[in-house]
Homo-oligomer: A and B are copies of this chain.
């Protein structure tokens, strides 16, 4: 069972490391890190350099596709070879998934038209431009497509996916193995829960940093 994790420059590392940490623990899973070309991709914000081990042309029939987000998604949304690859692999995937603004790439590829979907809350208007209906939900399955909310949601998405693919007991075991018993210090992790002043400040700083596809 091949699970393809797409990487690119200015990726948000947690978007992809969260789900892959979970999915790699599923029996029979084989992870492949795929980029436009083999070699390093960089996130200047966190100083991560990740290395893709395969080019798009080398990964043609993954069973699962995971598309993460980050500032680097925006240029990909008008990059026709990337869009064509997403459309092509989606034809034969069992599951096509996204984390955060990764859903914008699925949208740009035309996969979300008429569907309910989610993305990072700060990019919900961009998602709507691709014909999807945004919902502030953590994990949104629609047929074989699963979109999930901002950054950290990929962990919840991947555990949900493992439960569908391998059963609840395997998913529970993986949740225990990554000791995922979250205890965030505040209850402000979604826009509907955050204080208005905090929400305004974060929205403004994200708009300054690069907006819509952050």
Bound CA span A12–B25, Å: 12
Contact B138 A183 (CB under 8 A): yes
- Secondary structure dominating the interface of A: mixed
Contact yes or no, B12 A21, CB < 8 A: yes
Q: Does A172 contact B (CB under 8 A)?
A: yes
Cβ-defined contact, A176 with B202, below 8 A: yes
Q: Is A88 an interface residue (CB 8 A)?
A: no
| A159 to B182 alpha-carbon distance, docked (Å) | 12
**Of B139, B151, B177, which is within 8 A of A206 by CB?**
B177
CA A173 to CA B53, docked complex, whole Å? 35
Are A47 and B21 closer than 8 Å at their CB atoms? Answer: no
How far is A94 from B16 in the complex, measured between Cα atoms in Å?
Answer: 30
Q: How far is the CB of A144 from chain B (nearest CB, A)?
A: 18
Interface hit among A72-80, A126-134, A189-197 = A189-197
A186 touching B198, Cβ below 8 Å: no
Task: Return 10 A-B CB contacts under 8 Å, by A number.
Answer: A13-B21, A14-B17, A24-B45, A33-B48, A49-B51, A150-B179, A156-B183, A156-B184, A180-B182, A181-B184
